[in-house]
Every structure is written in structure tokens, then in C-alpha cells.
Amino acid sequence: MKIVVIGGTGLIGSKLVNKVREHGHEAIPAAPNTGVNTLTGEGLAEVLKGASTVVDVSNSPSWEDAAVLNFFETSTHNLLTYGAAAGVRHHVALSVVGTDRLSESGYFRAKIAQEKLIKESSIPYSIVRATQFFEFLKGLADISMVGDKVHLPPVLFQPMAADDVASGVASVAVAQPVNGMAEIGGPEQFRVDELVRRRLASLKDPREVIADSNARYSGAKIAEKTLVPGNNARLGHTTFENWLTQSAAHIASAA
């Protein structure tokens, strides 16, 4: 099968391209720097020629409310239109566990719009909702600043390694469309504030993390289980401690 990975140069996309190839399929990374732009439509007709599956793991360069909504609406509309014209038989997209419970957030309103367009299209689809990536924990601190401190609600979450996200998406991409959602998550549950505090400590980042029940997550008020996947979620194997060890070893070998 020819499988086009939109956002195939990003964190998840670059890992996903390798996983799809390990399954024995042709994987084509597509992104602006490979000549494919889903916002303008540039290069889409060419890259989708002969493709049976499209996997969308792109992300908006800006998370400002209007910009992110425009990104996911326009790019998804273009992908589905060009995909239908090219005879694509499976559209796979990466979304986030709890997306439908987070509509107070501009970012998640954009993901809700993306999911809706996919469900309403004529192309068979699978939407993979993943929990937060370990790689995103520092970014979560960055978007949760109040003054010079990180404010986060002490609710449950079950984050996972980007490598396990890519494995989960690859398994869905090489299988038949589910015409619905599949959830994936990490092997352990934590409190959001607790794990961000541990991640910042591992980076020797001195910012203080405050457990604040009124703090919002990406602009949305959340409850104890808003970010937690359901019982049928497929769970990755990488624990937080193993991921920390692996990423420290990776940084040391790169240096």
C-alpha cells in the first residue's frame, strides 16, 4: 500500500513513516518542506496519486484560536477533497483523548472541527485519539504560566511516549477503517501537576509547579477524568521513567 503521512516530518510523523515501512508498506512523508501544503493545496494532487491511505499527523504552527481553527478546517477540507478525487480508501487522523470534553479551548474546538469534517466525508476513516505525549510535558508547563509559576489542575492523566503513539497510529493505518474512534494511552496514571513537576526537575528547570484546582488546561476547565482514556484504550509500553532514561541517553549520544 502507498500511505501518505501528512506532517511526516514532525515529532509523530517522522516516527510513523518508519513504523509504516516496518509493516512492509510504502510511506511518503508530506509537509511544506517536501512540497506539500495542505493549507494551500500545493502538491496534494501529485502526492496522493495512487495512495490508498492518508494519515494526517500535522499540527498548526500557531495555536492562537482563529489560526488553529483555520488550519484544521482548511487543511482537513483540502485533504478530504483531494483524497476523494484520488480514490483514497482510508483517512486516518491523530486527535486527542477527551477532545469532545474540551470545547472551552480554542485548540480543541479546532480538533472538534477536524473530527467532524472527517466523520461527514465520504472517505472511510479512523480517528486515533491519543493522550498527551511525554515530549509535550515541558510545552504544557509553557502554556500554563501564571506570572513566573506553572499553574496546573491536579487531575488524572495517562500520558505516553511519542514512539508508542506512532506505533499505535501505524497499526490503525495498515488495518481496515474503523469508521469511528480508537483510543491509545500510556501504561500509568499520574496527576498532571505531579508529572510536569518531575519533568521540569529532570530538565533542571527551576519553575515552581502549583497544584491549582481552578487552573485551566489549554484554556478549558477540566474534571478529574477529562484527560483519561476509556477502558478499551490500547496502552503503550513505555513508562515515564524508561522514557526519561531513553531520552537522556539519546541526548548524550547526540552530544
Ligand X SMILES: NC(=O)c1ccc[n+]([C@@H]2O[C@H](COP(=O)([O-])OP(=O)(O)OC[C@H]3O[C@@H](n4cnc5c(N)ncnc54)[C@H](OP(=O)(O)O)[C@@H]3O)[C@@H](O)[C@H]2O)c1
Residues that bind ligand X (CB under 6 A): 6-7, 9-13, 31-33, 36-39, 57-59, 61, 75, 94, 96, 111, 130, 132-133, 136
Minimum CB distance to ligand X smaller for 24 or for 93: 93
Minimum CB distance to ligand X smaller for 82 or for 133: 133
CB 134 within 8 A of CB 162: yes
Task: In whole angstroms, give the CA distance from residue 156 to residue 190.
Answer: 6
SS3 220: strand
CB 157 within 8 A of CB 187: no
Minimum CB distance to ligand X smaller for 24 or for 90: 90
Shortest Å distance, C-beta 223 to ligand X: 19
Shortest Å distance, C-beta 30 to ligand X: 6
CA distance readout (Å), 156 to 66, 101, 130, 192: 29, 14, 15, 6
Minimum CB distance to ligand X smaller for 29 or for 174: 29
82: left (phi over 0), alpha (psi -120 to 50) or beta: alpha
Minimum CB distance to ligand X smaller for 136 or for 190: 136
Residue with CB nearest ligand X? 10
Shortest Å distance, C-beta 24 to ligand X: 23
For residue 157, with 0-12 CB atoms within 10 Å meaning exposed, 13-18 middle and 19 or more buried, which class applies? buried
Shortest Å distance, C-beta 205 to ligand X: 18
Shortest Å distance, C-beta 211 to ligand X: 20
Minimum CB distance to ligand X smaller for 59 or for 189: 59
Minimum CB distance to ligand X smaller for 24 or for 135: 135
SS3 125: strand
Task: Give Cα 91 distance to the centre of its chain.
Answer: 15
Shortest Å distance, C-beta 185 to ligand X: 10
**β-strand partners of 56:** 6, 93
Give the DSSP letter string of 180-214.
EEEEEE-SS-EEHHHHHHHHHHHTT----EEE-TT
CB 82 within 8 A of CB 45: yes
Shortest Å distance, C-beta 111 to ligand X: 6
